[in-house]
Structure 1
C-alpha cells in the first residue's frame, strides 16, 4: 500500500516526525534529500516485549490476531483488515490495518489511515530460517538501527517472528532504482548507515571482522549431500555436489577479495529492491529487513545492491548498472560517506573495482543460500532455478570482474 491519494498530507506529517527523530535539532543537521548528514544522533533504545506465541506459517492471519491482542489490545478485531504480502521469498508477511469507524477517536478526520497508530506488520519466519539467520542478532540490529533512525520501530518479538512499524511508500523496482532522484537517496542512505557503530560508547571498541567468511562457511555446512526431493537432487547434483567443489572455489575468491582492503562497515547485506522503500512525498529512502545486517566489507554491500538491479521474480542481468551509472552512484556515495565534496577520481575508480569484484561474492552468497532454501523452505518459489541463475552469473562475470584494476577497468 502506497502513500498516494487522500492520505498524502497525513503521511508527510508522520514521516517528518520520524525524520526529526533521526536527526534531532541539538546535534545533527541534514538537508532533506541530500547527503549533508553530520554528527549522527542516537536515541535511547527501547525495551521490546516478547510474546510467547508461535504463529502457524500456514495460518498467519490467525497468528497475527493473537499478536495484536497483546500489543494493540484497544483494537476492535472486527475493524482490522489483513493483507498478506507475497513479495518475500524467505518469510511470510501480513499487514494489519485498523480501520475504525469515522467517529472513532483513533481515526483521522479525513478517513485516511493513521500509519503510526493503526498499522502493524507481522513477519513470520520461514521454515528452518533460524539455521540461516541469528534472530537475536537481528533484533539487536533493528533496535540499534532504529535508535539511529534507519530502521522501523520494533513493536514486539514472538517465538517465530516479530511485529514492527509500517513504513508508507513503495518498494523499488528495476525501473525506479535507476531514476536520479531515487538512486542518489539510496547512495546517501547507505553511506549514512555505513557510519553506524555498535560500540555503544565503549572506551576500547571490540575487534571487528567481516561476517562474509563465517556466514558462507556456515551456509556450506547446511547444504545437504543428498536433497530429500529426488528431482531437486537430480537437478543440482552435477553442478553443486559434493558441495566441496564450490567450497574450494569460494575460498580462492575470498582470498582475492580480502586483498582489496575494502573497509569494514556496518552493512545491511541484503539490499534487494524489495528491501528499499521510497516515500516520494518526502524524497526519503528507508531500508527494511535487517536479517543479515552485520559488519562486512563496504564493497560487498554496494556490489550486492547493484546485482539486485536484475530483480528476483524475473531476473535479467542486462539490468546490471553500467560503468557510467556506477561511477556517478559511487561518487555520490563517497561524498556522503567521507563527508567531503573533494572526492578524487582515483577514489571512485578504486571503489568501482572493489564493488564489481565483491558482486561476485554476492552471487556466491545467494547461490548457497538458495541451495539451503531448496531443501527447507515451504514458500512457493523455485530456489533450485534461482541457485543456478546466481551461480551462472558468477561464472559469466568472474573473469571480466577479476581482471579489473584501478588503471585498466573497461567494464561498460
Structure 2
C-alpha cells in the first residue's frame, strides 16, 4: 500500500498551483467548471515532474496547460533563476510557450498544440534540417545578461559535487580522481578556436516540438541553457541520437545510432547555410571536427550529472548505469579524437 500512496502523492498538485489553475480557468468563458480539472502526468521527464491539465469545455477542443514542478536537489545542476529568466525572455519573444503563472516550486505554462519529437524523428532528413535551422536561430539569440561561457565552470562544479557525494568505491570505479586533469586537458585542447552562442545544452528529442500542419519547430525546457561553444551544443544533440528514453531500459545508450559522417555533414551544412551563404568545404570540415571533439566534454558532463542524479533524484531511471556509459564513451573516443592513448579506469558493469 505504501508504494501506491507514494505514487498518488507524486501525482498530486501543490494547493498553490491548483488555486492558480482555478483562477486561470475562471477567466476563460469556454470552461464549464474551473474546479473540474483533470491531471495527467507526462512521462519521460528526468529533472522535473510535468503534468498536463485539462478542463471540459463548451466546445469540441479542450483547454490544456502544463504544470512543471521543479525537481528537488536539481539546483546543483543549474541556476533556477537564470532558467526562469530565460523562459520569460523566450515567452515574451514568442519563441516558446507563454508563462501563465508561477508558484513556489514550479510554474504553469501554455500548452503548445504540437507533437513532441520521438527518437526516430531526429534521423528524418527533413525534420533534422528544421532542427538545424532552429538551432542556429537559438544560438543567435541576444540573451540579456553576461555572455560568459559556463561549460568548464559547470563541469568543475559537477566534479566537486560528485566527489563529495560519492563513496570512496564509487569515486574509484568511475575514475573521479582522474577527471580534474582531464577537464584541464580538454579545456586547453578545445578552447583555442570556437564560436560561442546562446546554447540549449540539452537538445534531446523530448525538448523539441513540431506543429505537424506548419512544420514549425519549438525548442522547450531551458534549464541548462547558457552561453557556450556552439560546437558543444551540436555535439550534445548528436550524442542524444544514441538515446531513446521511452523504452523498457531508457538509461541504455545505443552508440551504433550516433549519426555517421554524412548525416553530421548534412546537418551542419544546413546549420551554416542559415547565415545566408553556402559554407566552404574547409569551414564545414572544421566545424565537423570541432563538434566531434566536443562530444568528449558532453560525455563527462552527463556522466557527472548521472552520478549526482542517482543521489538527489527520485525519478525512476538508472542514472548510475547511464553515467557509466557516458564515461566509457569518453575514454573510448578520446584517443581517436585527440590522439592521446589512455586506458579507461571505468569498470564494466557486472550486472
Equivalence for 1:58: 10
CA–CA separation in structure 1 for the residues paired with 2:91 and 2:211:
17
Q: Which moved more, 1:381-390 or 1:149-158?
A: 149-158
1:229-273 residue CA offsets vs partner (Å, 9 max, x unmatched): xxxx487243236x33212212211211112x2111011111011
Q: Secondary structure at the match of 1:72?
A: helix
Moved more, 128-137 or 86-95: 128-137
For residue 294 of structure 1, what is the aligned residue in structure 2?
Answer: 226
- Could you tell me which residue of structure 2 aligns to residue 182 of structure 1? 127
CA contact (8 A) 1:85 1:94 kept: yes
What does 1:261-272 align with in structure 2 at a 5 Å threshold? 261-272=193-204
- Number of the residue aligned with 1:191: 136
Q: Which residue of 2 aligns with 1:80?
A: 37
Q: Structure 1 residues 400 and 79, CA, compared in 2 at 3 Å: closer, same or farther?
A: same
1:308 to 237, 240, 247: 240
Shift of 1:57: 7.1
CA distance in 1, matches of 2:9, 2:242: 29
Q: Which residue of 2 aligns with 1:29?
A: none
Distance (whole Å) between structure 1 residues aligned to residue 185 and residue 157 of structure 2: 17
- Structure 1 gaps of 5+ residues are 1-55, 200-205, 228-232, 405-412
The 1:60/1:395 distance shift into structure 2, 3 A limit, reads farther
Q: Tell me if the contact between 1:60 and 1:94 (Cα under 8 Å) persists in the aligned partners.
A: no
Match of 2:258 in 1: 320
- Say which of 193, 205, 214 aligns to 1:282: 214
1:110-129 equivalences under 5 Å are 111-113=60-62, 118-129=63-74
1:351 alignment counterpart: 287
Q: Which runs of 4+ in 1 moved over 6 A?
A: none
C-alpha displacement of 1:389: 1.3
Q: Paired residue for 1:218, among 126, 132, 157?
A: 157
1:306-363 deviation per Cα after TM superposition (whole angstroms, max 9, x unaligned): 0000114142111110000111110000011x222x3111111011001111111111
Residue 276 of structure 2 corresponds to which residue in structure 1? Answer: 339
Distance change in 2, residues 1:57/1:351 (3 Å):
farther
Partner of 1:257: 190
Contact 2:53-2:67 at 8 Å conserved across structures: yes
**CA distance in 2: counterparts of 1:161 and 1:388, whole angstroms:** 31
Secondary structure of the corresponding residue to residue 38 of structure 2: strand
Query: Normalization by structure 1: what TM-score?
Result: 0.73
Q: CA deviation at 1:181?
A: 1.7
2:22–2:35 Cα contact (<8 Å) kept = no
> Hey, what does 1:397 align to over in structure 2?
333
Residue deviations 1:197-255 (CA, integer Å, cap 9, x gap): 025xxxxxx7632110111122122225454xxxxx487243236x3321221221121
Report if aligned partners of 1:90, 1:125 keep a CA contact under 8 Å in 2: yes
Counterpart check, 1:153 vs 2:98: yes
Deviations 1:10-39 (A, max 9, x none): xxxxxxxxxxxxxxxxxxxxxxxxxxxxxx
Look up the match of 2:304: 368
Q: State how 1:86-105 maps to structure 2 within 5 Å.
A: 86-100=43-57, 104=58
Kindly tell me the number of residue pairs found equivalent between the two proteins.
322
Residues in 2 aligned to 1:57 and 1:334: alpha-carbon distance in whole angstroms = 48
Partner-residue secondary structure (3-state), 1:126: coil
Distance 1:285 1:403, change over 3 A: farther
* Aligned counterpart in structure 2 of residue 131 of structure 1, from 71, 76, 97: 76
**Distance in 2 between residues matched to 1:71 and 1:221, nearest whole Å:** 43
Aligned to 1:13: none
Q: For residues 226 and 214 of structure 1, do their structure 2 counterparts lie closer, same or farther at Cα, with a shift above 3 Å needed?
A: closer
